[in-house]
Amino acid sequence: MEKTFVMIKPDAVQRNLVGEIISRIERKGLKLVAGKLMSVPKSLAEEHYVEHTDKPFYNDLVSFITSAPVFAMVLEGEDAVKVARHIIGETNPSEATPGTIRGDLGLTVGRNIIHGSDSVESAEKEINLWFNEDEISDYESPQDAWLYE
């Protein structure tokens, strides 16, 4: 089963949206297999956003993500990477479709609520970057039989 990395950003944690967001993920059927509230060391933030090093918003992005705790998660399910990106919505909340997390809960690109891995390869990289193997659970859920054929 595919895994993806999702992180609720400082703005959403401060706005008490953690429960709302996890609830949407649970209702969709993605399985929470790891999760932790944590302050992000600068080195981790820089590594996580390494592909954006040359962008004009890079410094602000690193400052933002290290400014207050985040809630980091690993989710599992069929096509988990694509499904998580769909329910998260477009990068800029002002353009994100209503019904998505960013479309319903955010307003601006610099405070866009949540991160989700953009490919299976980056998911693997990000899961290894943010979690130790022993923090990820492997378990059966009774609803699996009603989510999958």
Nearer to ligand DAT, 30 or 144 (CB): 30
125: left (phi over 0), alpha (psi -120 to 50) or beta: alpha
Answer yes or no: is 57 a known binding residue. yes
Nearer to ligand DAT, 23 or 119 (CB): 119
Nearer to ligand DAT, 97 or 141 (CB): 97
Cβ atoms within 10 Å of 44's Cβ, excluding its own: 17
Answer yes or no: is 91 a known binding residue. yes
Answer yes or no: is 9 a known binding residue. yes
Burial class (CB in 10 A: 0-12, 13-18, 19+), 30: buried
| Contacting positions for ligand DAT (CB under 6 A) | 52, 57, 61, 91, 109-110, 112, 115, 118
Cα dihedral: 117, 119, 120, 124 (round 10)? -40
Binding mask 100-139 for Mg ion (x = CB under 5 A): ------------------x---------------------
Catalytic residue status for 52: no
129: left (phi over 0), alpha (psi -120 to 50) or beta: alpha
Q: How far is CA 59 from the centre of its chain?
A: 20
The residues of the shown chain that bind Mg ion, judged by CB under 5 A, are 118
Binding region: 9, 57, 85, 91, 102, 112
